Structure 1
Amino acid sequence: MSLSATNRTHSDTFSFILMGLPGLEGAHFWLAFPLCAMYLVAVVGNCTVVLVVKMEPALHTPMYFFLCMLAAVDLALSTCTMPKLLSLFWFDAKEIGYRTCLLQMFFIHSLSGVESTILLAMAVDRYVAICHPLQHSSILTNAVTAKVGLVALVRGVVFFLPLPFLISRLHFCSSTNLTHSYCLHQDVMHLASSNSTTPNVVYGLTAILLVMGLDSLLIFVSYVMIIKTVLQLKSREERLRASGTCVAHVCVVLSFYVPLIGLSVVHRFGRDLPVLVQITMGNVYLLVPPVLNPIVYGARTKEIRKRALRIMRIGREGGSH
């Protein structure tokens, strides 16, 4: 039987072992409750953002449409990881099937790529609004915003769809213990017992650099130009008002890229670090942004905060009747 046939038959019953928190196995049951609370906050917060923008015609602008896209991606990203994580902590369900692992891997990486593109689009929106305010409405129309969202989706899928296929060419037999509570390309790749992983390393690094690396560089450049324009404003009030519109976006960018860069560094250069450090970095990367983003934008964006409170007030009044 050929190696490809062996791998195909092997994959039907083969599974990986997910890692919880080493040394804290006895506390897994109780730790799942705050994780579940975080998931509920992410679901409620991101759904609220989408609902508020949908119900308020005044918010049908590129900035809020991009925010809806970000909320939808965060919701999908947390949903493709959190249920399995909770089953691991509550029911000790450590096994994840080969095909399920590859599917989860694809969703994690592709959705991260989509989120990176949306964050870049939001940075461009802020740049045009501050540096070229008179052209903002003509440059970033709703039609252009929809096309940017489609490009973000296609870009994430095209760049990261090859990852599961690159993994499927590898052979696994001995070690099946992952170092995270979900499937990442770098993590699964290191468990291969045969075949060269050079194509995986090269393509994985290339995809990361061409998507997240390029996006972070362009976001940095856009903010350099924004800061230059803000410093040229005459009054202090104008400078504060202009910079204030960027604070929420900067916080969201940092919450996404800092854990992502930290996790990438750990996987490539920190293999000797304690496993708990690697797992913590991975969980922060996937769990924190979906929870933090709606809170940041809800706290920093007056329009969303006011309209969300209005919707809740109307709901309470309707319920009382």
Structure 2
Amino acid sequence: MKRLAVLTSGGDAPGMNAAIRAVVRTATQQGIEVVGVRRGFSGLHRGELAVLGPRDVANTIQRGGTILLTARSHTWRSPEGRAKGAQVLRDWNVDGLIVIGGDGSFHGGHYLQEEHGVPVIGVPGTIDNDLYGTDHTIGYFTAVETALDAVDKLRDTGASHERIFVIEVMGRHAGHIALDVAVAGGAEEVFIPEDAKSVEGVVEIVKASVAKGKASSIIIVAEGYPGGAQGVADAIQNGTGLETRVSILGHIQRGGAPVSSDRVLASRLGEAAVYALMDGEKGVMVGRGGGGIVYTPLHETWEKRKDVNRDLYRCAKTLSI
């Protein structure tokens, strides 16, 4: 292993820069040169590559987003696009590729390896925490903290105006963020994609809260729940007549400086990705499990389902009285 490449792909996540930094500095320590690919797979087939050294990643560990930029590439979905990218890597004498991203990015890396024999290691970078094979993904902890900070502020407003706030957090296919925020934010109810329960139940919950003297309530909804936050809010408004407001947090959850847990996780996984390539591993994601580093075949990260913590789901319900 003389030269490796690293790219970030798909949605950005706080901590990606810490992972890039760890890849560059670990590889340099081992005498391996690193090439950074700008704009993900889209930039790869266009040849947007540059050598990265330790100083190029200085003062980046605290920054959100990704210094390598990211993009979603339609061209990469075709065999011709992947063939062009593979040729670019050969022209640059790259011996292996580290892909930091989510399941869509891992699909791209998987097919690159299958079709062209380029060793690929995946590093899980997605705020949704929905990848099988790792306890947590880079960016998740920061996204939860960002959403929780917004919930705390909205609770103040809700209490002042005696309103119901229905807050939508990210999680198109998974309710991990919603569950953590619901428990930490003291929400009265939480709706997640993994449990498509009826919205009718929330009406009775709100009525019961009012009967107990609660003048306001917080309801958390993952964006992937059928009907979304607006559907839940409409049911509450129509069923109780209480003033109800919807707040969709959206992409604010992707931004900001990564919290310490994401910086540590990203640093550890970036280091592990380089060692994995050096040890001859390929076609796997490096993740955290049982307190250590675990390898999961890339295809399993999207073929197998990572469930939410059901104990936490029960906890959210128990503490909502």
TM over 0.5: no
TM-score normalised by the chain length of structure 1? 0.28
Q: Which protein has the bigger strand share?
A: 2
Q: Which protein has the bigger helix share?
A: 1
